[in-house]
Amino acid sequence: MQLFTLFGYPVTHSISPRLHNAVMQGLGIDGCYIRTPIEHPQTLLPTFRKLDLSGANVTVPHKEVAFAHCDEVRGIAKEIGAVNTLIKEGTRIIGYNTDAEGFYAAIKSFGHLRNALILGAGGTAKAIAMILKAHHVDVTILNRSASRLDFFEKLGFTCKTWETFTPSSYELIINTTSAGLKDESYPCEEALLNLLFEKAHYAFDVIYNQQTPFLRLAQAHHLTYKDGKEMLLYQGVLAFHLFFAQQYDLKTIESLMRPVFEL
Ligand code: NDP
C-alpha cells in the first residue's frame, strides 16, 4: 500500500485526506492519505522518510521548511520559496508548489487579466503573485505592515502599505489575508475596499466554504467573485497528478475530487 500524508500544525480540519482518498478509491489504487501533525519543523523530512511515504502535502507553517530541506525543488516553487507537495523519486524527495497553479486554474474563467491587487503579503500571496507574474499580469501588493514586503520588492512588484497606498484601478482584487475567517473584519478599510470594488471586475478570496465580508461587499458591487474552494480543489488535483507520476489525467482526478466538496 502507498502512503501519503498532510504535514502541518494543526492539520485536524483539513479536507485533503478526504479529497485524495476519494480519488484513490475511485481509481482502485491501493493507497491511503492520512494527517501528520508536525510541531517541530526539523522533524518534517525525517518523518517523511521514516513513514516511507510516496508523497505528502505541506501546509502552514511548514511550507518554507519543506522548500529548504527537500533534495530538489521544481517549477514555480523555486521562485516562491515554498513547497506544498513532496514526492519520493527513488531515494530523493522532490518539492513542488501546486497552490500557485491551483489559484490560476481557479481564475481561468475570469479570462485574460491585465492587472490585479493582492491584499496581504504572506505565503499564499507569494504563490499568487508569482503565478500571475508568470502570466504577464501586472501585480500590486497591499499589506497592513511593511515587514513582509521585502520579498516582493526585490522581485520588482509594486508594493504598498495601508499608509503609502493610493487607490487605482485593478481588474481583480484578491484577499490572501485571514481577515473575515473567524470575524467580520475586512482585509483593509471598508471605504478603501468600496473604492477598489467600484473600479474592479473580479474578486477572489482564498478563504473557502464561507462568504467573508470581503466577498459580500464584492457581491454588493455586482462583481464576479469566487472563494478559495476551487483553488483548494485544483491544488489537490495537481498534487495527486504528481503523486502518481502524471499517469492519471487531470479531468479524471477532478471529477473524483470535486464531489467531496458537495458532501
Ligand atoms: P500568512 O500568515 O503567511 O500571511 C498573512 C498575511 O495576511 C500577512 O500579510 C498579514 O499582514 C495579513 N493579515 C493577517 N490578518 C490580517 C487582518 N486582520 N487584516 C489585514 N491583514 C491581515 O498566511 P498565509 O498566506 O499562509 O495564508 C493566508 C490564508 O490563505 C489562510 O486563511 C489560509 O487558510 C488560506 N489558504 C487557502 C488556500 C486555498 O487553497 N484556498 C491555500 C493556502 C492558504 P501583516 O504582514 O501585516 O501581519
What is the residue with the minimal CA distance to atom 17 of ligand 1?
179
DSSP 70: S
What is the residue with the minimal CA distance to atom 26 of ligand 1?
123
Same domain? 61 vs 142: no
Same domain? 223 vs 236: no
Same domain? 76 vs 56: yes
Ligand 1 within 6 A of 140 CB?
no
Same domain? 132 vs 150: yes
42 is in an annotated binding site: no
Residues 6+ apart with CB under 8 A from 152: 121, 125, 126, 129, 141, 159
| CA gap 160, 139 in Å, rounded | 11
- Residue 201 CB burial class (10 angstroms; 0-12, 13-18, ≥19): middle
Cα distance between the two ends of the chain: 26
Question: How remote is the CA of residue 50 from the centroid of ligand 1, in Å?
Answer: 31
Ligand 1 within 6 A of 123 CB?
yes
Same domain? 121 vs 220: yes
Q: Please state the atom number of ligand 1 nearest to the C-alpha of residue 60.
A: 26
- pLDDT tens string for the chain (263 positions)? 999 999 999 999 899 999 999 999 999 999 999 999 999 999 999 999 999 999 999 999 999 999 999 999 999 999 999 999 999 999 999 999 999 999 999 999 999 999 999 999 999 999 999 999 999 999 999 999 999 999 999 999 999 999 999 999 999 999 999 999 989 999 999 999 999 999 999 999 999 988 999 999 999 999 999 999 999 999 999 999 999 999 999 999 999 999 998 86
Ligand 1 within 6 A of 143 CB?
yes
Ligand 1 within 6 A of 161 CB?
no
Question: How remote is the CA of residue 242 from the centroid of ligand 1, in Å?
Answer: 26
| CA gap 252, 256 in Å, rounded | 6
Ligand 1 within 6 A of 38 CB?
no
pTM listed for this prediction:
0.95
Same domain? 221 vs 235: no
Query: How many domains are there within the chain?
Result: 2
Report CA Rg, the chain.
Answer: 18
Same domain? 130 vs 187: yes
Same domain? 63 vs 121: no
Same domain? 110 vs 221: yes
Same domain? 223 vs 235: no
Ligand 1 within 6 A of 236 CB?
no
CATH number for 59: 3.40.50.10860
For residue 37 the three cell numbers come to 501533525
246 is in an annotated binding site: no
- Nearest 5°: phi and psi at 144? -60, -45
Q: Please state the atom number of ligand 1 nearest to the C-alpha of residue 235.
A: 40
Catalytic residue among 50, 63, 88, 199: 63
CATH number for 178: 3.40.50.720
Q: Please state the atom number of ligand 1 nearest to the C-alpha of residue 124.
A: 25
Question: How remote is the CA of residue 187 from the centroid of ligand 1, in Å?
Answer: 10
Same domain? 126 vs 56: no
Same domain? 25 vs 53: yes
- Nearest 5°: phi and psi at 115? -150, 160
ipTM of the complex: 0.96
Q: Is 226 a catalytic residue?
A: no
The domain containing residue 138 runs over which residues? 102-227
